[in-house]
Each structure stands twice: as C-alpha cells, then as structure tokens.
Amino acid sequence: MSKIVHMATTAVASRVGLNIDQADDLNTGLDELLRLSASESSRDKPFCVRYDVHPDRLEVLAEDVNASFRDGTSKVSRYRRFILEKVADRFEEKTNQGGSLNVLMVKFLKG
C-alpha cells in the first residue's frame, strides 16, 4: 500500500514542479502517518490522502489519522512530529467536527 501512496505522491509532486528530494520528503512524512494508521488494529477505514494544488503550494492531507498523534508526551509521538516538521515546509493538525484528526503537510513551490 505504501508504494501506491508513494507513487501517487511523487506523481502529484512532480506535476507541480517539486524535485525528487521534495517528493521524497512528503513520502517520508506520509510513511509516518501511514504506519500510524496501519498499526490501528481496529481500523476498518481506508487510509485517505488528499492532494490540494495551489498556485504557491502543494497541500497533502492525511485524513482521519489515529488520534494518538496528538499525544505530545510520548517519545514516539515527539519523534513523529519532529519528522513531519522537518520534511514539510509547514505541518498542522486539524480536528474535525466529529473529533477525528487530519494532518496537513505543505510544500511551498518556488518561483
């Protein structure tokens, strides 16, 4: 499954003019979120990734991420956040009305 996500992300990143380093950054961040979701034993929902292309940026949104991502106290959580901070130009968490969590990674387009 990760290969499909990687290929889709690389393809979209390429379309908006990001180079392979930047595409790989997004894939590294998505890997963390994907593993987090895949490790939920009770998960019966698909792992959804949304790509929003703006004139100045690419937004990659992982939807309905395991809420344990919010936990800022465990080492694993700190590690995961650190990686996302580093690979994305901006990253933020968005809590939905139903309480589920989306994680957004943004890469700004140069030029």
Partner 1 sequence: MPKRTQNSLSREEIASLFHTYKDNKDPVVKNVLVGAYMDLVHSLARRFANRGEPLDDLVQVASMGLLKAIDRFDPDRNVQFTTYAVPTIVGELRRHFRDRSSAIRLPRGLRERSYLIKNAVQGFSQENGRSPSISEIAAATGISEEEVIEGLEGSEATTIASLDTTTEEGDLSLLDIIGGEDQTLKLLDERLSLAGAMSELDLREQNLLYLRFIEGLSQTEIAERLDISQMHVSRLLRRTLQSLRQNLTSSSGKPYTS
Q: Which of 1, 19, 70, 96 binds partner 1 (CB under 8 A)?
A: 19
- Give the CA-trace dihedral at 35, 41, 45, 48, to 10 degrees: -10
Toward partner 1, which CB reaches closer, 88 or 97? 88
**Nearest approach, Cβ of residue 79 and partner 1 (Å):** 6
**Nearest approach, Cβ of residue 54 and partner 1 (Å):** 18
91: left (phi over 0), alpha (psi -120 to 50) or beta: beta
Using CA of residue 53, residue 59, residue 60, residue 61, what is the dihedral sign?
negative
**Nearest approach, Cβ of residue 19 and partner 1 (Å):** 4
Report if residue 40 touches partner 1, rule: CB under 8 A.
yes
Chain centroid, CA 94 distance in Å: 12
Contacts of 18 (CB under 8 A, 6+ apart): 26, 58, 107, 109
- CA–CA separation, 74 and 35 (whole Å): 16
Toward partner 1, which CB reaches closer, 24 or 64? 24
Report if residue 68 touches partner 1, rule: CB under 8 A.
yes
**Interface residues toward partner 1, by CB under 8 A:** 3, 6-7, 10-11, 13-14, 17-24, 28, 31, 35-36, 39-40, 66, 68, 71, 74-79, 82-83, 86
